[in-house]
Chains A and B, each alone.
Chain A
């Protein structure tokens, strides 16, 4: 009993105590001098997160095991959620310590349906999975929205939602841009992004930002097929996400930045020969175009996708043909990974990659052919 009690008493201040960093060196007279300072503020009155959850679940089996259905619905409420939240700069720390910041609700369901059957020598199995979760901050301890770059934490929205200006197409001409009565960022030209002046003060500033979307995937699904007929076997695995946002940035979004290159999607840009206010990219510029680099819905991309993750066809040679060979089994197969993807993501971004990895090597498709020999 005592031991258990002890565990319960573990307070965060053990690990979240204000400690002194001993690496704040300075150099005087060409010589290294030690420097000690507290660098990471810690709140010592924080407590565990607490979670309450309601879950209705059922597992059903029909047709003598040929059809299985399982379903779960849950609502999970996490209170005193521990998030790294900014503290006033005047306190003298640059870190955002863990704080019991508020409450988050996750509501969702999982459905799995699986069916298998044998018709003569033909066997098949189909498994479909669909799950969804809706995340929402329900309380933030009275704090104002916490903005960090293109993300925000605010009551009523999913955690770390995308946050920015609302783009309203591109200016179709120089005249239209210069005649625009709202002040944006710098001198505007045709092909610059127009933003919505939400607070109607004729000035685009941080006060005109709104929640744009979020990167928590909704409607995550997969479909797994397996069939076999005599020596042949065939399988396919599809996966996908029904709704998710991602954010385009860096070289992928802005051509020629700091003398970088251009990509195929930059062909659909505004230029005088294509004064399309709905082009996917603004005018080209070798300089930083502050107006067009603002966090905004313009650069939000639809990260929903469907992908054939794996496909495989195999043939197992009948055992009788292997008599007296010393081989107990042979299977030949052809396999493909990441065979195709249906998605609206621009070139250079992959829907399965996290945000801001769009300068990385793209996902590879691989095809293998093989022979399995068992002795």
Chain B
């Protein structure tokens, strides 16, 4: 009895004394921000997490990594409500996706700012090399996030320190885009300086070359030609990069995963076991692939944009044959698209409604699973994406580990050429940059030996950006900065006709910038043979060059102000 009393007394004592601080502790199941990031392992992990938003995030069908171009006329997403609503100019500030982008970018920025602060506070725990490496990566990422933000929203809130309270978060104001651009340049320059000489070359990590290439991109996207030309020249002169000999194999895993890929400047890698595989094959697979959605497809507008091998558009080239429309075209067409008649997934690919049977790879006639008669969900345009597509994933469509290049040397060459053209410096360096891209061994488009007029050169480099960089997430920003969106985004987006032969369709014409023009009355008239109108676009030029400040943000902080017209 005495013993029991003792135990009871002890228990009470423990409970009572244990009480005071017991509930004031930090949770034990996950680390707390206050006590974390004090050693190299933790800081390294913090820097890694700054990469999380390098692709703007998965918004349902609108997955910017491989279809940001679907905002433009070159790629179409079936069921991509947000992209289509942008194209029709029917959204207003209450659309939630605008905030998703805003949040993604600011999450990236906040992580960068936090890690810069933590690195400063824990310098003693890191070697000098590590400090340089980490800071170099972070400065790049922060600049990249601000670049994306300014492209979407114009003037944005610029922060280089963590925001510590909700009250502070509500008190911020926007900084002029031009001022933010200076900070972006400064960050890329710092990144370049810190990473120059770094021995870290792991695929996916930021390098000095990437920092300078992105600085060139940032300058180009802001029509700052001199800065763009200088930054691109630095990359070219570094001799770190060169074009791969073949476009046709450049977007295959063999090349993408290889250290011998001299063209990649920044690559985004995916790993199923890291829970960040993509569903790219699911969106792009033919309907004959079990589970394939065929939602992301190339458009007819893009198809018609590929010149013939003589460098002339299909309205002018004698090489264009309406009955064999895919022959004699810029070879990049066939490297990027699957076209009717191609052997694909073991079948001769064809979507036409009247082609209910097709041949398989054994030469036998079988049911055509890609025919519109078999499924209304077959490619709305009649074409499929070949670029980056890998049959390795047909049985695991959402487990794709194909790396995507976020920046490659061809872009830098074209940036350099465009900047030089806009500066009217049509010299040998400028021609050489374009010729390298056009002269790739399996592209082999006519070279430019003597400079054309500035406007012809401009059209040429714009053609190259559209064709060479198709579906690499640059088209939409190009249309905005060229102020071409107000023209191109008022033309309908077409798919291939459901029935009939090309030869019965009216000839396409081209505007003075080399983009196809469709007078709708010529292309839409008789339902059985019409070009298929996928979407009637619209663009409000006094509003749509910028996106609205998201409603929730404005409600929390009216001081942000709204963009014009929204």
Contact = CB atoms under 8 A, between A and B. Distances in A.
Contacts of B113: 92
A228 B102 CA distance: 67
A147 B49 contact: no
A120 B169 CA distance: 76
A254 to B, nearest CB: 11
Highest count of chain B CB atoms <10 Å: which of A21, A24, A26 = A26
B336 to A, nearest CB: 25
A18 B33 contact: yes
A227 B554 CA distance: 62
Given A88-B172, A92-B162, A287-B535, A30 B269 contact: yes
B312 to A, nearest CB: 35
B522 interface: no
A27 B27 contact: no
Contacts of B85: 288, 290
Interface string B535-565: 1101000000000001111011110000000
A367 interface: no
A146 interface: yes
B31 interface: yes
Contact of B555 (A18, A26, A30, A145): A145
Nearest to A1: B16
Nearest to B57: A94
A91 B172 CA distance: 10
A89 interface: yes
Contact of B27 (A11, A19, A143): A19
A90 B172 contact: yes
Interface stretch (A32-40, A131-139, A356-364): A32-40
Contacts of B20: 6
B126 interface: no
B446 interface: no
B275 interface: yes
Contact of B94 (A10, A24, A206): A206
A144 B556 CA distance: 7
Nearest to A87: B166
Interface string A12-33: 0011011111111111111111
Contacts of A86: 552, 556
Nearest to B115: A37
A238 B180 CA distance: 65
Interface stretch (B199-207, B409-417, B461-469): B199-207
A91 B106 contact: yes
A2 B14 CA distance: 12
B555 A290 contact: no
B269 A27 contact: yes
Given A90-B163, A91-B106, A259 B27 contact: no
Interface stretch (B40-48, B222-230, B235-243, B477-485): B40-48
Interface string B228-260: 000000000000000000000000000001000
Contacts, number: 200
Interface stretch (B76-84, B316-324, B386-394): B76-84
A2 B16 contact: yes
A185 interface: yes
A291 interface: yes
B106 A147 contact: no
Interface residues on B, range: 35 or more
B395 interface: no
Contacts of A144: 555-556, 558
Contacts of B449: none
B107 A36 contact: no
B49 to A, nearest CB: 4
B169 A28 contact: no
A90 B161 CA distance: 11
A31 B275 CA distance: 12
B294 to A, nearest CB: 12
A100 to B, nearest CB: 12
Contacts of A145: 555
A38 B33 contact: yes
Nearest to A28: B204
Interface in A70-88: 86-88
Contacts of A290: 85, 88, 90-91
A3 interface: yes
A221 interface: no
B111 interface: yes
B377 interface: yes
Contact of B26 (A17, A94, A258, A259): A17
Highest count of chain A CB atoms <10 Å: which of B89, B271, B377, B538 = B271
Contact of A93 (B88, B110, B205, B276): B110
A370 interface: no
A26 B163 contact: no
B166 A37 contact: no
B493 to A, nearest CB: 11
Contacts of B202: 28-29
B44 to A, nearest CB: 8
B169 A91 contact: yes
Highest count of chain B CB atoms <10 Å: which of A5, A14, A24 = A24
Nearest to A22: B30
Contacts of A143: 555-556
A166 B549 CA distance: 24
Contacts of B93: 205-206
Contacts of B25: 14
Contacts of B275: 23, 25
A88 B557 CA distance: 8
A87 B169 contact: yes
Highest count of chain A CB atoms <10 Å: which of B32, B169, B270, B536 = B169
B32 A91 contact: no
A27 B552 contact: no
Contacts of B535: 287
Interface in A179-206: 185-187, 205-206
A26 B169 contact: no
A30 B257 contact: yes
Given A10-B23, A86-B552, A89-B550, A36 B103 contact: no
B108 to A, nearest CB: 8
Contact of B166 (A26, A43, A185): A43
A145 B94 CA distance: 13
A27 B274 contact: yes
A99 B52 CA distance: 27
A41 to B, nearest CB: 8
Given A10-B23, A92-B162, A206-B93, A19 B32 contact: yes
Contacts of B557: 88
A183 to B, nearest CB: 10
Contacts of A11: 23-24
A5 to B, nearest CB: 8
Nearest to A185: B90
Contacts of A18: 32-34
Contact of B96 (A38, A149, A185): A149
A367 B44 CA distance: 65
Given A2-B19, A19-B30, A145-B555, A37 B169 contact: no
A24 B52 contact: yes
20 contacts: A15-B27, A19-B30, A22-B45, A28-B202, A28-B205, A29-B202, A88-B163, A88-B557, A90-B106, A90-B110, A91-B163, A144-B555, A147-B94, A185-B90, A187-B536, A187-B538, A205-B566, A206-B92, A206-B93, A259-B377
Interface of B: 15-16, 19-20, 22-27, 30-34, 36-37, 42, 44-46, 48-52, 78-79, 81, 84-85, 88-94, 96, 99, 102-104, 106-111, 113-114, 157, 159, 162-163, 166, 169-170, 172, 202-205, 257, 269-271, 273-276, 376-377, 535-536, 538, 550-553, 555-558, 566
Closest 3 CB pairs of A and B: A92-B110, A88-B169, A35-B49
Given A89-B99, A206-B92, 4 more contacts: A3-B15, A35-B52, A88-B163, A147-B555
Interface of A: 2-3, 5-6, 9-11, 14-15, 17-38, 43, 86-94, 143-147, 149, 185-187, 205-206, 209, 258-259, 287-288, 290-291
